[in-house]
Amino acid sequence: MRLLALRLLALAAAVAVVLVPGWVASLDGDSSPAADPVTITDYRATFDVDEDGTLLAREELTARFPSGRHGIFRYFDLADPTDEGARLYPRDLEVERDGRPEPFDEHWESGQRFRVAQIGDANTFIAEGEHTYVLTYRVEGALVPTGADSADGSASWSSDDPDRSVFYWNVVPGGWEMPIERSTIEVRLPTAPDDVTCATGWGTALDTCAEAQVDGSTVTLTTGALEPRTPVTLRADLDVPAPDRGSLPWSVTWDYSLGRSVPLLALVLLLGAATFTGGYLWERRARERRPGYPAMFEPPPGLGPAQTAYVVEERVPDHALVATLMHQAAQGLTRLEQTEQGMVVVGLAEPAAWEAQDPVSRHVGEMLGVTTPGSRFAADGSVGAGQVLSGLKASVRTATTGWATGSGVQQHVTSEWLGRFAVIGAAVLAIALPFLGIAPLVWLVPLLAFAVGGIGLLGRGVGTRRTKQGRLLWSHAGGFRRVLTTDSAEARFDFSARQGLYTDFIPYAVVFDAADGWARKYEQETGQPAPLPDWYSPVPGLYWGAAGLSALDAAVSSFETSVSSSINAYQATQTSSSSGGGSW
């Protein structure tokens, strides 16, 4: 269930990586830019429209420049207000200035809605005065069916008639940031129009175009002064069949994410399905089939609580250090004394007795310096104690995993490590590529799908696999945990047959986070309150209240508090001393 939730979260993140940037980039900020100091004194445009819908455009504009300018921008809006699935892409763009070819660069804005020509040289300033630019380009799909409608609802359109078409065009684009003093537009249509209407400005209803002159198939339109970003729209009804025009099942908003090709999108999605399957199968190979958990009434011989938990869960639990301290005491190696300042570990055994213990218990004893009779370690909340315990908590994990590999319980698996690195690499690459300019973002789908399919390769235990010996221990330890944590009706202990059985297994119950259940099992089967272990000495004179479950809770809590307060004291000193500065 946890893996499924992780996979769904990864899937949601992958979808967001592909779709959200395109949507955010397409948002149109309505804030007006600063006034452009350049003025277009005369704008002349000629549009030749063929029966197949191809438009050949020639724009000639005379612009008055102040000093310190490099050139102009021409914004081409790919969105068609009559059909959100159509794209009006400018092709074969050429630019001249004062009769000579002018350099320009092209880039996208608002996702991939606006194709922007940045005309001029960044290393060259335009001389102050008037200059004439000539732009020529080609656009396909300029004729639309009669049943089409403008996106802003500013016009009424006739019903769909396959033998007729409409030319609907911003003959003065709304993307000019400069004011225009006058304009002259000439549109050469494939046939004489039946009706001509026009509008000036955004959201203005089309109306009879008094400024337009119709001479056969040619429409000439003149205007006076136009404010910046003011379009002039022309509509002409034509007795020409509407040509086929390419259309996509999504609007231009999603082009940055999905591209402009349905077959290419389908191909990429198929590749994504293949990489998802590859990642998932790689993950499945890394999973270990869980053995049966027969009822076991004692832990695997020679294993302390940290090792027993590790062979089951392939991780070292948070309670491993406290459980190991209790295990040492249960084995007669130490005694745990609770004081008003914290907890004291008192060494009782000779070094030879420590040598016979499991390596994790021995490691903890050596780090605390309690491997000789009478030696002591106080977890009293001091910085020194915290430094030792902080390092010990980390080294218990290292000692446990080192024992598992060194004793042949588990082995490293190269293919699983490669899978883990592949998932991480795919995710990192998918996040990095958009910053390097890759578009559309759907190209990221194969990488993201692989990461989603193989997300389980990032889970714990991946990279190592239990050996035959390890699986036997896994089954034994899992069966023991099952007995510790299940109801008495399913697995009963004969506590009367062995003195100290309950207290000996308290450390294992603690490491499995089942101390409450273990105490409750004892009380249910014996009818007596669970006793405190004799290897634990509470604060002298402190009444623990009722024996049994509450007593064990208090003991475990006091151990954890003593360890945590010491570690927190040490970490506080590290935090306060890690900042600062000075001169040198």
Q: For every one of its 584 residues, what pLDDT tens digit does the chain have, with 9 covering 90 and above?
A: 688 888 999 999 999 999 888 788 777 555 556 678 999 999 999 999 999 999 999 999 999 999 989 999 999 999 888 888 888 999 999 999 999 999 999 988 888 888 999 999 988 899 999 999 999 999 999 998 886 655 443 333 445 677 789 999 999 998 898 999 999 999 999 999 988 888 888 877 766 676 788 999 999 999 989 999 889 999 999 988 988 888 899 888 898 899 999 999 999 999 999 999 999 999 999 888 889 989 888 999 999 999 999 999 999 988 899 899 999 999 999 998 888 777 889 999 999 999 999 999 999 999 999 999 999 998 887 888 878 888 888 899 999 999 999 999 999 999 999 999 999 999 999 999 988 888 899 999 999 999 999 999 988 888 889 999 999 999 999 999 988 887 654 556 666 555 577 888 889 999 998 888 888 888 887 888 878 788 877 765 444 444 544 555 666 666 667 677 666 764 665 554 444 443 33
Distance CA 406, CA 310 (A): 14
Burial of 519-531, coded b for 16+ CB within 10 Å and e otherwise, reads bbbbbeeeeebbb
Residues 65 and 158 in one domain: yes
CA distance 59 to 54: 16
C-alpha span between 390 and 419 (Å, rounded): 32
Sort 283 into a burial class: Cβ within 10 Å, 0-12 / 13-18 / 19+.
Answer: buried
CA distance 32 to 30: 6
Same domain, 359 and 497: yes
The answer to whether 443 touches 268, Cβ cutoff 8 Å, is yes
Q: Phi and psi of 351, rounded to 5°?
A: -55, -35
Are both 219 and 341 inside the same structural domain?
no
Structure tokens at 167: 């030319």
Contact 191, 175 (CB under 8 A): no
165 and 265 assigned to the same domain: no
Domain contains 428 = yes
DSSP 349-393: S-HHHHHTS-HHHHHHHHHHT-SSTT-EEEESS-HHHHHHHHHHH
Long-range contacts of 101-104 (CB under 8 A, 24+ apart): 102/71, 102/133, 104/71
Same domain as 141, residue 58:
yes
Residue 37 lies in a domain: no
What's the total number of domains in the chain?
3
- Say how far apart CA 411 and CA 213 lie, in whole Å: 86
Is 372 inside any structural domain? yes
CATH label of the domain that carries residue 101? 2.60.40
Distance of CA 66 to the CA centre of its chain: 48
Q: Identify which of 78, 244, 84 has the alpha carbon closest to the alpha carbon of residue 148.
A: 84
Q: In the structure encoding, which two tokens stand for residue 184, read together?
A: 């002259």
Residues 121 and 229 in one domain: yes
- Same domain? 70 vs 190: yes
* Shared domain check, 399 and 524: yes
Selection from 362, 358, 368 nearest residue 304 by Cα: 358
Same domain? For 456 and 557 the reply is no
Q: Which of 454, 464, 314, 490 has its CA nearest to residue 397? A: 314
Dist CA 150 CA 76 (whole Å)? 18
Which domain, by its residues, includes 140? 42-253
The answer to whether residue 572 sits within a structural domain is no
Same domain, 172 and 190: yes
**Nearest to residue 400, comparing CAs of 296, 300, 506, 324?**
324
Q: Are 165 and 88 part of one and the same domain?
A: yes
Q: Is residue 32 part of a domain?
A: no
Both tokens of 32, joined, read: 């007006």
Does 177 reside within a domain?
yes
375 and 485 within one domain: yes
Residue 297 lies in a domain: no
Please indicate, yes or no, if residue 295 is contained in any of the structural domains.
no
The answer to whether 82 and 156 have CB atoms below 8 angstroms apart is no
Helix spans in 217-373 (H) = 255-258, 262-286, 305-313, 320-330, 351-355, 359-368
Helix (H, G, I), strand (E, B) or coil at 134: strand
